[in-house]
Amino acid sequence: MNRRERHGVILRLVREQPISTQTELAEALRAAGHEVVQTTVSRDIKELGLVKVRAQSGRLVYAPPGAADSDRLSALVLALRRFALSFEPAGNMVVITTADGFAIPLADAIYDSGHPHVAGTIAGENTIFVVARDGTPAAQLRDELRTHLTLTEGAA
């Protein structure tokens, strides 16, 4: 099996089952019929940019880059529901308003969520500028953030 094929198998495995360690990943690859050594698995993890996220079980597991950590996503959903009053796209930013004193906690939750389209946040007393990553229209980011207001608790 070449490197590209192995990477595809690894991505499938981490999406389909909770894998927390390099050893577990090597064992899963072997169980799938692919002989690997630990150094190869370590290099593959780095090359693929796998990240550790907290699964709903509470266990840290490997995931593809950009995967949502359920704790951070839950914190973002709760913060948006609790603090956000309005969302307005402006240039490459989304301007979010809050009641006085709540912009910083909400900006922290947005930034800490690891949202793949958020480059950064700047917060004042009641206003947050959420800067969209290059290539992400501000209206799209606004819509993505607003969708969290209507998610059901089970989806978070």
Q: What is the pLDDT of residue 154?
A: 40
Looking at the fold, whether 38 and 108 belong to one and the same domain comes out as no
What CATH number does the domain containing 45 carry?
1.10.10.10
The reported pTM is 0.56
Looking at the fold, whether 76 and 146 belong to one and the same domain comes out as yes
Q: What is the pLDDT of residue 68?
A: 61
Residue 74's pLDDT band (cuts 50, 70, 90): confident
Q: What is the pLDDT of residue 155?
A: 40
Looking at the fold, whether 50 and 109 belong to one and the same domain comes out as no
Looking at the fold, whether 76 and 54 belong to one and the same domain comes out as no
The residue from 63, 78, 95 where one domain ends is: 63
The SS3 assignment for 106 reads helix
Looking at the fold, whether 78 and 106 belong to one and the same domain comes out as yes
**What's at 34, amino acid-wise?**
H
pLDDT digits (tens, 9 = 90+) for 101-142: 999 989 988 987 878 899 999 999 999 999 999 999 999 999
